[in-house]
Structure 1
Amino acid sequence: MSLLTVNGLGKSFGGVRAVDGISFDVAAGELLALIGPNGAGKSTTFNMVNGQIRPDTGSIALAGRELAGLKPRQIWQLGVGRTFQIAETFSSLTVVENVQMALISHDRRLFSMWRRAADHRRAEALALLEQVGMAAQADRPCSVLAYGDVKRVELAIAMANQPKLLLMDEPTAGMAPKERNELMALTKRLVVERGMAVLFTEHSMDVVFAYADRMIVLARGRLIAEGRPAEIRDHPKVQEVYFGSGKTFEKKAPLQNPSTREVA
């Protein structure tokens, strides 16, 4: 059963049709990759689902609840988490304090000098950090962490509102191959354990083909292909859009030290 249902989504900027009537769905427990060349409409689609851009046409429903027209914070409160291409954390705060801030936001609580925010739901914050393998570094400032560890903290922050749907914008951008593999394996485990749905954009085709359950491909604002990775790999329209005729995606063993080759 679909958790997220997008139907007839469209958006224009001036005379340019950035997204042209696309439809797709994501089921609980599924990782759906949204890919396409530069200018395909990926970011516009992603930001409409997240509420940063209001669609001109179409609907975006989360478990039957319409999201189109809501603000990002309202969508977050309904159970949609998000990570960003460039990890967003408070570098001056400790790892656990970053997660606590997300919990405070979710609880809509205000704190005064007599009610220390640092005490708020520390146990829950530590439990989230344990799930992403960062509990041992809970009291370190985020400013001293390796980038791969910052990405793990961001994932814990995104999980603070117990999301039904997780939106991941270029989750492995800037990461070494080993870190990419570890982060996506962790994400896949959390998806299965929590029954979440994940919609993610990604330029690394190695990551996409190794971890996505299904893929949708955009070109010039239109959906040109959807299916399982094996189906998309050999899809003639996808090959033409990415490479022109006569070339194919390289077939590599999944989950094994993805290369650093990127497809823009």
Structure 2
Amino acid sequence: MSLLNVTHLGKSFGGNRAVDGVSFSVAKGELLALIGPNGAGKSTTFNMVNGQLKADTGSIQLEGQELIGRKPRDIWRLGVGRTFQIAETFGSLTVVENVQMALLSSDGLLFSMWRRAAAHKRDEALALLAQVGMAAQADRPCSVLAYGDVKRVELAIAMANRPKLLLMDEPTAGMAPKERNELMALTKQLVIERGIAVLFTEHSMDVVFAYADRMIVLARGRLIAEGKPAEIRDHPKVQEVYFGTGKTFEKKATGAMA
């Protein structure tokens, strides 16, 4: 059964139709990759699901609840977590305090200034950090972490509201190949264990083909293909529109795709 249902989604900027009648769904326990060339409408679609942009037409429903018209913080409280292309953490706070801030927000206590983050659900924050392999660095400032570790902290923050749906915008951007695979393998593990649905955008095709259960491809604001990675790899329209002439997805020796 689908957790997220997007139907006939549309968005225009002036005379430019950035997203034109896009429909797709995401099921519990599924990683759905949203890909396409520059200007395809990926970011616009992604930001409408998150509430950062309001759709002109269509519907976005999470377990039957309409998300269009809701603010991002209200969508977050309905069970939609998000990570960003550029990791967003408080560098002056420790790793565990960053997660505790997210827990404060989830509990509706973020603006109760008399509460110190360090006193709020430290054990729960440590448990989240343990899930992403960061418990040992809990009391270090985020500002001194390697970038791959900051991405792990961001994932723990995104999990603080026990999301049903996790939105990941370019989750492996700026990461080395080993770090990319470790982060996505961790995400896949959390998806399986918790039955979370994940919608992610990604430019690294090795990541997409290695970890996505299904893929949707946009071009010029329209959905041109949808299916499992093997189907998308061999899809003639994807080869033509997404890559242009002369380029194809090729299997590497490791079994990943290029």
CA distance in 2, matches of 1:238, 1:122: 47
CA distance in 1, matches of 2:204, 2:143: 26
Confirm or deny: 8 A CA contact 1:32 1:215 kept in the other structure: yes
CA distance in 1, matches of 2:85, 2:33: 15
Cα deviation per residue 1:52-88 (whole Å; 9 max; x = unaligned)? 0000000000011110111100000000000000000
CA distance in 2, matches of 1:135, 1:92: 18
Cα deviation per residue 1:185-215 (whole Å; 9 max; x = unaligned)? 0000000000000000000000000000000
- Give the aligned partner of residue 157 of structure 1: 157
Q: Is it true that 1:242 corresponds to 2:242 in the alignment? A: yes
- Give the aligned partner of residue 218 of structure 1: 218
- Give the aligned partner of residue 138 of structure 1: 138
Aligned pairs for 1:1-264 (under 5 A) are 1-109=1-109, 110-113=111-114, 115-252=115-252
Confirm or deny: 8 A CA contact 2:219 2:242 kept in the other structure: no
Return the letter of the residue paired with 1:30: E
The structural deviation recorded for 1:251 is: 1.1
**Secondary structure of 1:243's match?**
coil
Confirm or deny: 8 A CA contact 2:37 2:243 kept in the other structure: no
The structural deviation recorded for 1:111 is: 3.5
RMSD of Structure 2 on Structure 1 (CA)? 1.3
Q: Give 5+ residue unaligned stretches, structure 2.
A: none
Q: Give 5+ residue unaligned stretches, structure 1.
A: none
**Secondary structure of 1:85's match?**
coil
Return the letter of the residue paired with 1:173: A
Cα deviation per residue 1:131-184 (whole Å; 9 max; x = unaligned)? 000000000000000000000000000000000000000000000000000000
**Secondary structure of 1:19's match?**
strand
Cα deviation per residue 1:212-236 (whole Å; 9 max; x = unaligned)? 0000000000000000000000100
CA distance in 2, matches of 1:243, 1:188: 27
Cα deviation per residue 1:20-40 (whole Å; 9 max; x = unaligned)? 001000000000000000000
CA distance in 2, matches of 1:253, 1:238: 23
CA distance in 2, matches of 1:24, 1:150: 31
Report the TM-score when normalising by structure 1: 0.95
CA distance in 1, matches of 2:169, 2:253: 24
Return the letter of the residue paired with 1:38: N
Stretches (4+) displaced over 3 A:
110-113, 253-256
**Secondary structure of 1:7's match?**
strand
Confirm or deny: 8 A CA contact 2:94 2:140 kept in the other structure: yes
Give the fraction of aligned pairs with identical amino acids, expressed as a percent. 84
Return the letter of the residue paired with 1:18: A
CA distance in 1, matches of 2:123, 2:93: 17
Cα deviation per residue 1:92-121 (whole Å; 9 max; x = unaligned)? 0000000000000111114444x4331100
The structural deviation recorded for 1:254 is: 6.2
Confirm or deny: 8 A CA contact 1:181 1:255 kept in the other structure: no
Return the letter of the residue paired with 2:87: A
Moved more, 9-18 or 116-125: 116-125
The structural deviation recorded for 1:46 is: 0.1
CA distance in 2, matches of 1:172, 1:112: 34
Number of aligned residues: 257
CA distance in 1, matches of 2:97, 2:169: 23
CA distance in 2, matches of 1:12, 1:59: 15
